[in-house]
């Protein structure tokens, strides 16, 4: 789950959702 990585980078909510959905394999 890359969610933790993105959260650490403090990515915006919408951006994190898009990135998470893209990397969600």
Domains of the chain, residue spans: 1-25
pLDDT per residue as tens, the chain (25 positions): 566 665 666 656 777 788 778 876 6
- What token pair was written down for 6? 């993105």
Question: Residue 13 is encoded by which pair of tokens?
Answer: 């909510």
pLDDT of residue 1: 52
């Amino acid at each position: 789950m890359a969610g933790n990585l993105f959260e650490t980078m403090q990515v915006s909510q919408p951006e994190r959702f898009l990135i998470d959905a893209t990397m969600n394999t």
